[in-house]
Amino acid sequence: MDGRIGPELIRVGLFEFRRRSTRALVRNAATLALLAFFIASAHGAEGESATGAYTPPGPEPQRPELRSFVDSVKLDSALDPRGVQFGTLKLYPYISFEEMHTDNARRAPNHEVDDDLVSEDIGFTSQFHPHECIRAALNYDFGWHDYVRNTERDYPTQQAAAQLSIERIGVKGMSVLFYDNFLLTSSVGELENEIQQFAKYDTNLAGMTALYKFNRFKISGTYEYNFLEYAAKENSVSDYHTDTGRFDVGWEWLPGKLEIFDTYQLQRTFFDHAFASDFDTDTFLAGVRGRFSKLTYSVGVGYEFSRPLYKNGVHGDAGYNATLAYAPHRRIAVDVTGSRNFQAGVLTGSSLETNTAVNLKILLTQRGFFTFGFVRNQSDRLDGIHQISIAYSPRFEYKIARRVSLFTGYSRIERTSNDKPAEFKIDEVRVGAKLSW
């Protein structure tokens, strides 16, 4: 033999290979069929095995969560204006119109006179972020307010606010905040006790806060300067300015959940035309603050007293400040604030002020939301005057487009006092629209 394979031998080899492959395939198919039979018999109806023992079912396929379109977007900013971008500066211009009907335009205890107050405002808010450690904001608003039946004088308003924050100054954890707020107007809220009603005035508050954080330790210091000046000479006797210093120390007992803090504040009030009435107000508070799940809280208790600079006599009382904010759902948010402060006022003198405020916001749809506010003030003055003021105000706003929103609201304000000329009741109804960019 020469070692070569002939054609006949090749044909025989191919035939034998096919025959054995076919037998192996048949055996494998039979094995698979038998295995499938046993599996099918082991998993009968109701998930029972061949022996009757219960077999735990496997994991079910994940079903898609049923959510509305409203839940799939961030409601509080879904239709917010986008603003106008200039590099790292973003402007949000706006124009608003409001008509308010009141049944007691002069806020009198009797002989109420109704009127309509028409207000137009134009202004802007802004955000400036030139560096990752620097943020700034500037807001301005100019408004004109017209009494249709001339029960009071028409008046303009101007509001301006500026803020600058700088982080990581020199060392890590060090930040500084500068701020300034200016207001020029001839009207104040119905529950305001320290500013004369329907008198033109301007006020400005400027301050800075330095904050340092190191691990769980936090320390901050604040200085503020505030002044108030009336335009009319007969009211200028009440002009004043204040210097305020505040020192705050905190320690995070449970990081992010519980912080212990201690605050001391000294405020010195100077009368521009009555120097003998200058006084100091001291505040000492200690408490806890932090966040637990969806609840944010801050509670402080302490003591407050006033000290005349050029007279004898120190008056004081216990005080507290508490704030609770709770958001159980992305559509619902509520906050409650309570305080009891002994303070020396420019118009009210030394008094014990107890305040309660509740604010509720409900996002009804992607475009509409409802808010409700409640305020209660109890003022017990050393001169013997006691008064209680209550206000509640529901409001509904609806965005018909990204740049256009409509709103309506109602307010009820009541004040009772043993000083009868200070009492009043007011009902107000508002409608308006706002155009934003």
**Structure tokens given for 166:** 């700088």
The b/e string for 61-77 (b: 16+ C-beta within 10 A; e otherwise) is eeeeeeeeeeeeeebee
Q: How far, in Å, CA of 143 to CA of 157, rounded?
A: 5
H or E stretch at 259: strand 258-271
CB of 260 within 8 A of CB of 297? no
Rounded Cα gap, residues 194 and 336, in angstroms: 23
Q: Are 243 and 268 in contact (CB under 8 A)?
A: yes
Q: Where do the structural domains in the chain lie, given as residue ranges?
A: 171-436
- Residue 194: the pLDDT is 84
Token code pair at residue 293: 């799940």
Could you report how far apart the first and last alpha carbons of the chain are, in Å? 100
Q: For residue 66, what pLDDT is reported? A: 38
- Global pTM reads 0.79
HSE-up of residue 141 (Cα within 13 Å, Cβ side): 19
Q: What is the pLDDT along the chain (437 residues), one digit of tens a residue?
A: 444 445 454 454 444 544 554 454 445 444 444 444 443 343 444 444 333 333 334 434 444 333 433 344 454 555 778 889 999 999 999 999 999 999 999 999 988 999 999 999 999 999 999 999 999 999 999 999 999 999 999 999 999 999 999 998 888 899 999 999 999 999 888 888 888 888 999 999 999 999 999 999 999 999 999 999 999 888 788 899 999 999 999 999 999 899 999 999 999 999 877 666 788 999 999 999 999 999 999 999 999 988 888 887 788 889 999 999 999 988 999 999 999 988 777 777 788 899 999 999 999 988 999 999 999 999 998 888 999 999 999 999 999 988 999 999 999 999 999 988 889 999 999 999 999 99
Residue 73 CA to residue 399 CA, distance in Å, equals 15
Stated length of the chain: 437
Give the CATH H-level superfamily of domain 171-436.
TonB-dependent receptor, beta-barrel domain (2.40.170.20)
Per-residue confidence (pLDDT) for residue 213, from 0 to 100: 95
